A and B are shown apart, each in its own frame.
Chain A
Amino acid sequence: MKDKDKTYNFIKEEHIGKWVALSKDKKEVVGYSDSLKDLQQKVGKDAVYTRPLPTDTVFAF
Protein backbone atom coordinates (compact mmCIF):
# COMPACT_ATOMS: atom_id res chain seq x y z
CA MET A 1 0.00 0.00 0.00
CA LYS A 2 2.83 2.38 0.81
CA ASP A 3 4.40 1.83 -2.56
CA LYS A 4 1.13 2.51 -4.30
CA ASP A 5 0.62 5.70 -2.37
CA LYS A 6 4.03 6.84 -3.49
CA THR A 7 3.04 6.37 -7.12
CA TYR A 8 0.76 9.36 -7.20
CA ASN A 9 1.88 11.28 -4.14
CA PHE A 10 2.36 14.37 -6.27
CA ILE A 11 -1.40 14.61 -6.85
CA LYS A 12 -2.64 17.56 -4.82
CA GLU A 13 -6.07 18.60 -3.70
CA GLU A 14 -6.36 21.13 -6.53
CA HIS A 15 -5.97 18.34 -9.10
CA ILE A 16 -8.92 16.28 -7.87
CA GLY A 17 -11.78 16.10 -10.36
CA LYS A 18 -9.83 17.92 -13.05
CA TRP A 19 -8.02 16.73 -16.13
CA VAL A 20 -4.40 16.23 -15.21
CA ALA A 21 -1.49 15.72 -17.59
CA LEU A 22 1.29 13.59 -16.17
CA SER A 23 4.77 13.31 -17.58
CA LYS A 24 5.24 10.13 -19.63
CA ASP A 25 7.11 8.52 -16.73
CA LYS A 26 4.22 9.57 -14.49
CA LYS A 27 6.53 11.11 -11.93
CA GLU A 28 5.15 14.64 -12.08
CA VAL A 29 2.17 16.72 -13.05
CA VAL A 30 2.88 18.82 -16.13
CA GLY A 31 -0.46 20.60 -16.19
CA TYR A 32 -4.08 20.47 -15.16
CA SER A 33 -7.34 22.06 -16.20
CA ASP A 34 -11.11 21.74 -16.06
CA SER A 35 -11.01 21.43 -19.83
CA LEU A 36 -9.27 18.49 -21.50
CA LYS A 37 -9.20 20.42 -24.78
CA ASP A 38 -7.35 23.36 -23.20
CA LEU A 39 -4.93 21.04 -21.48
CA GLN A 40 -4.30 19.04 -24.63
CA GLN A 41 -3.57 22.23 -26.58
CA LYS A 42 -1.13 23.33 -23.90
CA VAL A 43 0.63 20.03 -23.20
CA GLY A 44 0.28 18.07 -26.43
CA LYS A 45 0.65 14.34 -26.93
CA ASP A 46 3.71 13.69 -24.77
CA ALA A 47 1.74 13.16 -21.60
CA VAL A 48 -0.54 10.70 -19.87
CA TYR A 49 -3.93 12.23 -19.23
CA THR A 50 -5.86 11.24 -16.16
CA ARG A 51 -8.57 12.39 -13.76
CA PRO A 52 -7.69 11.86 -10.11
CA LEU A 53 -10.65 10.64 -8.11
CA PRO A 54 -11.60 12.29 -4.83
CA THR A 55 -10.61 10.23 -1.81
CA ASP A 56 -13.69 11.24 0.22
CA THR A 57 -15.87 9.16 -2.09
CA VAL A 58 -16.19 5.41 -2.47
CA PHE A 59 -16.76 4.67 -6.14
CA ALA A 60 -18.86 1.87 -7.58
CA PHE A 61 -18.68 2.11 -11.32
Chain B
Amino acid sequence: MRYVLRRLLLVPVPLLLVVGFVFAVLRLTGDPVAIYLGLDATPEQEELLRAELHLDDPIPLQFAWFLADLLQGDFGTSIQFKTAAMQVVAERLEATLLLLGLGLSLAVGLGVLAGVACAVWKDRLPDFVISILAVAGQSMPSFWLGILLIQLFALDLGWLPTSGRGGWQHLVLPTVTLATFLVPNFILVTRISVLETMREQFVVTARARGAGAGRALWLHVLPNAINPVVSLVGLQLGRLMGGAVVTETIFAWPGVGRLMVSAIFQRDVPIVVASVFIVAVTIVLANLLVDLVQAAIDPRIRTR
Protein backbone atom coordinates (compact mmCIF):
# COMPACT_ATOMS: atom_id res chain seq x y z
CA MET B 1 0.00 0.00 0.00
CA ARG B 2 2.83 2.39 0.88
CA TYR B 3 4.35 1.47 -2.44
CA VAL B 4 1.19 2.42 -4.30
CA LEU B 5 0.93 5.74 -2.48
CA ARG B 6 4.53 6.58 -3.15
CA ARG B 7 4.06 5.95 -6.84
CA LEU B 8 0.85 8.01 -6.93
CA LEU B 9 2.55 11.00 -5.31
CA LEU B 10 5.08 11.14 -8.10
CA VAL B 11 2.45 11.28 -10.86
CA PRO B 12 2.11 15.11 -11.17
CA VAL B 13 5.85 15.72 -11.58
CA PRO B 14 6.32 14.42 -15.11
CA LEU B 15 3.00 15.96 -16.14
CA LEU B 16 4.05 19.45 -15.08
CA LEU B 17 7.41 19.12 -16.78
CA VAL B 18 5.81 17.93 -20.00
CA VAL B 19 3.26 20.74 -20.08
CA GLY B 20 5.82 23.46 -19.31
CA PHE B 21 8.13 22.16 -21.99
CA VAL B 22 5.45 21.97 -24.66
CA PHE B 23 4.18 25.45 -23.93
CA ALA B 24 7.65 26.98 -24.08
CA VAL B 25 8.64 25.22 -27.28
CA LEU B 26 5.45 26.11 -29.11
CA ARG B 27 5.44 29.75 -28.14
CA LEU B 28 9.13 30.16 -28.90
CA THR B 29 9.07 28.59 -32.34
CA GLY B 30 6.19 30.24 -34.06
CA ASP B 31 3.55 32.87 -34.21
CA PRO B 32 0.07 31.44 -34.38
CA VAL B 33 -1.85 34.39 -35.80
CA ALA B 34 -0.64 34.21 -39.38
CA ILE B 35 -1.47 30.53 -39.51
CA TYR B 36 -4.97 30.66 -37.98
CA LEU B 37 -6.35 33.30 -40.21
CA GLY B 38 -5.53 31.48 -43.40
CA LEU B 39 -4.24 32.69 -46.69
CA ASP B 40 -6.76 35.42 -47.27
CA ALA B 41 -6.33 37.32 -44.03
CA THR B 42 -5.65 41.02 -44.20
CA PRO B 43 -3.17 42.78 -41.90
CA GLU B 44 -6.05 44.48 -40.05
CA GLN B 45 -7.56 41.12 -39.20
CA GLU B 46 -4.24 39.96 -37.85
CA GLU B 47 -3.94 42.95 -35.54
CA LEU B 48 -7.43 42.29 -34.20
CA LEU B 49 -6.73 38.66 -33.43
CA ARG B 50 -3.34 39.38 -31.95
CA ALA B 51 -4.83 41.76 -29.42
CA GLU B 52 -7.66 39.37 -28.68
CA LEU B 53 -5.32 36.51 -27.77
CA HIS B 54 -2.94 38.65 -25.69
CA LEU B 55 -0.07 37.38 -27.78
CA ASP B 56 1.82 40.59 -27.11
CA ASP B 57 2.43 39.75 -23.43
CA PRO B 58 5.88 38.39 -22.54
CA ILE B 59 6.07 34.60 -22.68
CA PRO B 60 6.65 34.00 -18.94
CA LEU B 61 3.56 36.06 -18.19
CA GLN B 62 1.56 34.08 -20.74
CA PHE B 63 2.74 30.89 -19.09
CA ALA B 64 1.77 32.12 -15.62
CA TRP B 65 -1.77 32.88 -16.82
CA PHE B 66 -1.84 29.56 -18.50
CA LEU B 67 -0.78 27.61 -15.36
CA ALA B 68 -3.30 29.47 -13.22
CA ASP B 69 -6.06 28.35 -15.56
CA LEU B 70 -4.65 24.86 -15.72
CA LEU B 71 -4.88 24.48 -11.94
CA GLN B 72 -8.60 25.12 -12.26
CA GLY B 73 -8.86 22.45 -14.93
CA ASP B 74 -9.15 25.01 -17.71
CA PHE B 75 -6.94 24.18 -20.67
CA GLY B 76 -8.05 27.25 -22.54
CA THR B 77 -9.99 27.68 -25.72
CA SER B 78 -8.72 26.26 -28.94
CA ILE B 79 -7.55 29.17 -31.03
CA GLN B 80 -8.72 27.56 -34.24
CA PHE B 81 -12.02 26.13 -33.15
CA LYS B 82 -13.09 28.49 -30.36
CA THR B 83 -14.17 25.48 -28.30
CA ALA B 84 -12.79 24.32 -24.94
CA ALA B 85 -9.54 22.57 -25.85
CA MET B 86 -10.06 19.68 -23.46
CA GLN B 87 -13.48 19.04 -24.94
CA VAL B 88 -12.05 18.81 -28.47
CA VAL B 89 -9.41 16.36 -27.25
CA ALA B 90 -11.81 14.34 -25.13
CA GLU B 91 -14.07 13.79 -28.14
CA ARG B 92 -11.16 12.11 -29.89
CA LEU B 93 -9.74 10.21 -26.94
CA GLU B 94 -11.97 7.17 -27.09
CA ALA B 95 -11.02 6.45 -30.71
CA THR B 96 -7.33 6.55 -29.90
CA LEU B 97 -7.61 4.47 -26.73
CA LEU B 98 -9.57 1.84 -28.64
CA LEU B 99 -6.91 1.67 -31.32
CA LEU B 100 -4.02 1.66 -28.83
CA GLY B 101 -5.69 -0.95 -26.64
CA LEU B 102 -6.39 -3.32 -29.51
CA GLY B 103 -2.98 -2.78 -31.09
CA LEU B 104 -1.17 -3.34 -27.84
CA SER B 105 -3.22 -6.45 -26.94
CA LEU B 106 -2.58 -7.94 -30.34
CA ALA B 107 1.11 -7.10 -30.15
CA VAL B 108 1.54 -8.56 -26.65
CA GLY B 109 -0.50 -11.66 -27.43
CA LEU B 110 1.27 -12.44 -30.69
CA GLY B 111 4.63 -11.36 -29.37
CA VAL B 112 4.53 -13.59 -26.30
CA LEU B 113 3.30 -16.61 -28.24
CA ALA B 114 5.88 -16.18 -30.97
CA GLY B 115 8.62 -15.44 -28.44
CA VAL B 116 7.85 -18.61 -26.51
CA ALA B 117 7.87 -20.56 -29.77
CA CYS B 118 11.28 -19.14 -30.58
CA ALA B 119 12.64 -20.08 -27.18
CA VAL B 120 11.22 -23.58 -27.28
CA TRP B 121 12.54 -24.28 -30.78
CA LYS B 122 15.72 -22.29 -30.29
CA ASP B 123 18.05 -22.37 -33.30
CA ARG B 124 15.59 -24.48 -35.26
CA LEU B 125 13.34 -23.57 -38.14
CA PRO B 126 10.50 -21.81 -36.21
CA ASP B 127 13.02 -19.65 -34.33
CA PHE B 128 14.74 -18.81 -37.57
CA VAL B 129 11.56 -17.92 -39.47
CA ILE B 130 9.99 -15.91 -36.63
CA SER B 131 13.21 -13.99 -35.99
CA ILE B 132 13.47 -13.03 -39.64
CA LEU B 133 9.83 -11.92 -39.67
CA ALA B 134 10.44 -9.93 -36.49
CA VAL B 135 13.38 -8.09 -38.00
CA ALA B 136 11.38 -7.46 -41.18
CA GLY B 137 8.42 -6.19 -39.16
CA GLN B 138 10.61 -3.87 -37.15
CA SER B 139 12.29 -2.46 -40.22
CA MET B 140 9.05 -1.80 -42.07
CA PRO B 141 7.82 1.79 -41.75
CA SER B 142 4.20 1.94 -40.57
CA PHE B 143 2.99 4.15 -43.38
CA TRP B 144 4.39 1.74 -45.94
CA LEU B 145 2.80 -1.28 -44.33
CA GLY B 146 -0.49 0.60 -43.96
CA ILE B 147 -0.53 1.47 -47.64
CA LEU B 148 0.33 -2.12 -48.60
CA LEU B 149 -2.52 -3.41 -46.47
CA ILE B 150 -4.99 -0.93 -48.00
CA GLN B 151 -3.81 -1.95 -51.46
CA LEU B 152 -4.24 -5.66 -50.81
CA PHE B 153 -7.27 -5.94 -48.52
CA ALA B 154 -9.28 -2.88 -49.55
CA LEU B 155 -8.51 -2.44 -53.25
CA ASP B 156 -7.50 -5.84 -54.62
CA LEU B 157 -9.57 -8.15 -52.45
CA GLY B 158 -12.23 -5.68 -51.38
CA TRP B 159 -12.67 -7.36 -47.99
CA LEU B 160 -12.12 -4.34 -45.78
CA PRO B 161 -12.74 -0.58 -45.99
CA THR B 162 -9.80 1.69 -46.79
CA SER B 163 -10.27 4.19 -44.01
CA GLY B 164 -12.51 5.95 -41.54
CA ARG B 165 -14.40 4.78 -38.51
CA GLY B 166 -17.41 2.49 -38.54
CA GLY B 167 -17.94 -1.20 -37.75
CA TRP B 168 -15.33 -3.74 -36.65
CA GLN B 169 -14.08 -3.98 -40.24
CA HIS B 170 -12.68 -0.47 -39.95
CA LEU B 171 -10.55 -1.55 -37.00
CA VAL B 172 -8.75 -4.44 -38.63
CA LEU B 173 -6.18 -2.71 -40.82
CA PRO B 174 -5.19 0.06 -38.37
CA THR B 175 -4.84 -2.45 -35.54
CA VAL B 176 -2.70 -4.79 -37.59
CA THR B 177 -0.53 -1.90 -38.77
CA LEU B 178 -0.02 -0.63 -35.26
CA ALA B 179 0.64 -4.09 -33.82
CA THR B 180 3.14 -5.06 -36.50
CA PHE B 181 5.23 -2.15 -35.47
CA LEU B 182 5.39 -3.40 -31.85
CA VAL B 183 5.30 -7.20 -32.09
CA PRO B 184 9.00 -7.67 -32.89
CA ASN B 185 10.12 -6.15 -29.60
CA PHE B 186 7.82 -8.39 -27.64
CA ILE B 187 9.03 -11.46 -29.52
CA LEU B 188 12.66 -10.72 -28.89
CA VAL B 189 12.22 -9.85 -25.21
CA THR B 190 10.02 -12.87 -24.53
CA ARG B 191 12.43 -15.14 -26.32
CA ILE B 192 15.45 -14.03 -24.29
CA SER B 193 13.60 -13.92 -21.02
CA VAL B 194 12.14 -17.42 -21.49
CA LEU B 195 15.50 -18.81 -22.53
CA GLU B 196 17.16 -17.36 -19.43
CA THR B 197 14.46 -18.59 -17.11
CA MET B 198 14.62 -22.07 -18.62
CA ARG B 199 18.16 -22.33 -17.39
CA GLU B 200 17.21 -21.42 -13.81
CA GLN B 201 17.60 -24.11 -11.20
CA PHE B 202 13.97 -24.12 -10.11
CA VAL B 203 12.97 -25.07 -13.62
CA VAL B 204 15.51 -27.87 -13.69
CA THR B 205 14.17 -28.94 -10.30
CA ALA B 206 10.62 -28.89 -11.53
CA ARG B 207 11.55 -31.03 -14.52
CA ALA B 208 13.52 -33.36 -12.22
CA ARG B 209 10.45 -33.73 -10.04
CA GLY B 210 8.58 -35.00 -13.05
CA ALA B 211 6.83 -31.91 -14.50
CA GLY B 212 6.28 -32.33 -18.26
CA ALA B 213 7.86 -29.91 -20.72
CA GLY B 214 4.53 -28.12 -21.32
CA ARG B 215 3.66 -27.85 -17.63
CA ALA B 216 7.14 -26.55 -16.80
CA LEU B 217 6.87 -23.98 -19.56
CA TRP B 218 3.43 -22.55 -18.79
CA LEU B 219 3.40 -22.85 -15.00
CA HIS B 220 7.03 -22.38 -14.03
CA VAL B 221 8.91 -20.61 -16.78
CA LEU B 222 6.38 -18.14 -18.20
CA PRO B 223 5.18 -16.53 -14.95
CA ASN B 224 8.79 -15.90 -14.02
CA ALA B 225 9.79 -14.76 -17.46
CA ILE B 226 6.87 -12.37 -18.01
CA ASN B 227 8.09 -9.40 -15.98
CA PRO B 228 10.47 -7.98 -18.61
CA VAL B 229 7.59 -8.18 -21.08
CA VAL B 230 5.34 -6.23 -18.72
CA SER B 231 7.95 -3.52 -18.25
CA LEU B 232 8.38 -3.41 -22.01
CA VAL B 233 4.69 -2.51 -22.30
CA GLY B 234 5.41 0.55 -20.19
CA LEU B 235 8.45 1.45 -22.23
CA GLN B 236 6.68 1.00 -25.55
CA LEU B 237 3.72 3.26 -24.80
CA GLY B 238 5.49 6.36 -26.03
CA ARG B 239 6.45 4.63 -29.25
CA LEU B 240 2.95 3.28 -29.56
CA MET B 241 1.59 6.82 -29.43
CA GLY B 242 4.02 7.79 -32.17
CA GLY B 243 2.82 4.84 -34.24
CA ALA B 244 -0.77 5.89 -33.60
CA VAL B 245 -0.11 9.30 -35.15
CA VAL B 246 1.05 7.69 -38.39
CA THR B 247 -1.64 5.02 -38.36
CA GLU B 248 -4.41 7.51 -37.68
CA THR B 249 -3.23 9.66 -40.56
CA ILE B 250 -3.10 6.85 -43.11
CA PHE B 251 -6.43 5.35 -42.13
CA ALA B 252 -8.19 8.67 -41.49
CA TRP B 253 -8.89 7.54 -37.95
CA PRO B 254 -10.44 10.34 -35.87
CA GLY B 255 -8.04 10.14 -32.93
CA VAL B 256 -5.94 12.35 -30.69
CA GLY B 257 -2.71 11.65 -32.56
CA ARG B 258 -3.82 13.26 -35.78
CA LEU B 259 -5.47 16.12 -33.94
CA MET B 260 -2.26 16.78 -32.04
CA VAL B 261 -0.10 16.86 -35.13
CA SER B 262 -2.40 19.22 -36.99
CA ALA B 263 -2.61 21.43 -33.89
CA ILE B 264 1.18 21.59 -33.73
CA PHE B 265 1.30 22.80 -37.32
CA GLN B 266 -1.37 25.37 -36.56
CA ARG B 267 0.36 26.50 -33.36
CA ASP B 268 -2.91 25.91 -31.54
CA VAL B 269 -1.25 25.83 -28.14
CA PRO B 270 -4.31 24.96 -26.02
CA ILE B 271 -5.07 21.91 -28.15
CA VAL B 272 -1.47 20.76 -28.22
CA VAL B 273 -1.11 21.16 -24.47
CA ALA B 274 -4.40 19.42 -23.76
CA SER B 275 -3.58 16.49 -26.02
CA VAL B 276 -0.01 16.18 -24.81
CA PHE B 277 -1.36 16.33 -21.28
CA ILE B 278 -3.88 13.57 -21.99
CA VAL B 279 -1.25 11.45 -23.68
CA ALA B 280 1.14 12.03 -20.78
CA VAL B 281 -1.56 11.12 -18.27
CA THR B 282 -2.29 7.95 -20.23
CA ILE B 283 1.37 7.00 -20.32
CA VAL B 284 1.98 7.86 -16.68
CA LEU B 285 -1.09 5.95 -15.51
CA ALA B 286 -0.26 3.00 -17.72
CA ASN B 287 3.25 2.95 -16.33
CA LEU B 288 1.83 3.10 -12.83
CA LEU B 289 -0.35 0.16 -13.71
CA VAL B 290 2.66 -1.65 -15.13
CA ASP B 291 4.57 -1.06 -11.89
CA LEU B 292 1.69 -2.33 -9.83
CA VAL B 293 1.25 -5.41 -11.99
CA GLN B 294 4.94 -6.11 -11.70
CA ALA B 295 4.79 -5.68 -7.96
CA ALA B 296 1.88 -8.08 -7.87
CA ILE B 297 3.80 -10.63 -9.93
CA ASP B 298 7.13 -10.20 -8.22
CA PRO B 299 7.08 -9.73 -4.43
CA ARG B 300 10.70 -8.54 -4.48
CA ILE B 301 9.64 -5.24 -6.08
CA ARG B 302 7.17 -4.49 -3.28
CA THR B 303 9.81 -4.66 -0.57
CA ARG B 304 12.19 -2.34 -2.38
Do A and B bind?
no
